[in-house]
Structure 1
Amino acid sequence: MSINASYAGREYAPNAPYQVAREKIREFAAATGNTHPAHLDIEAARGLGYPDLVAPVTFAVIIAQRAEAQLIEDPDAGIDFSRVVHADERFTHHRPIVAGDEITTVLHVDAVVERAGLAMVTTRCELFGDAALSDHVATVRSTLAVRGEDA
């Protein structure tokens, strides 16, 4: 099955909120080698003016990938995850993500382009700090390269 190009322009319903936990921030910081005290120590973060631990900027990928699962797991989308290579990831932050945030995500499929046995699927995840979608926290743009069956 090939990628369903008609998915370009699709917007998914908002995901259930992701609870940003202190330990998840600490674990992500450790996994990525980020030792800034604002990611690890509440008092250090508060001393810098934040209400709680601050997530590293790339932490948003954890939340975005959870939303992107809606597309990946949709059998009609035609994406075989075993053939996926992550091609690009871009972050635009409107405010820091901090422990205690409840992030609601809306997934958009911005483009599906197939060439020579390779499909490029570009998604955009809009992250909000409220269910009303008025507290715009970040935008995560991802491009997935999906190899065709003959590639």
Structure 2
Amino acid sequence: MSLLETLTADMKTAMKAKDKDTLSVIRMLKAAAMNEQISVGHDLTEEEELSVLSRELKQRKDSLAEFEKADREDLVSHNKMEIEVVEKYMPAQLTEEEVKQIIADTVKAVGAESKADFGKVMSAVMPKLKGQADGKLVNQTVKDLLA
């Protein structure tokens, strides 16, 4: 079942349950996926669907950080709920240890030895971890391993 089909089914369920908050998030996700489908000109592949979901999740996490800085508790709680809904559609996240192991293996595979090889490692590791690990965690772990 494609992401759009899943979102449509979940949208109907949320409507029947009169869950307005979840419904609004699902509608935003569906709109983002449909816009991406229009821009690429074909049905989305799993990787493209994952890219859309990752982008939406990142936007919400960035907003959450800003709202927390500004002490906007009303917006923080709503944003956390949105993040939970988006995460339901994401693949299972890897643990920090699993991420470190994948990055360590990639560092060895590309022969990286110093911070100068940071870009080479990131370009090799991100496709492996796309949607399964937070980009900030990956970035920081690569920096730590190359230090």
- TM-score over 0.5 (shorter chain): no
Q: Which structure has the bigger radius of gyration?
A: 2
Which structure exhibits the higher relative contact order, with contacts defined as CA atoms closer than 8 Å and separated by 6 or more residues? 1
Structure having the larger proportion of residues in helix: 2
Structure 1 length as normaliser, TM-score? 0.28
Structure having the larger proportion of residues in strand: 1
Structure 2 length as normaliser, TM-score? 0.29
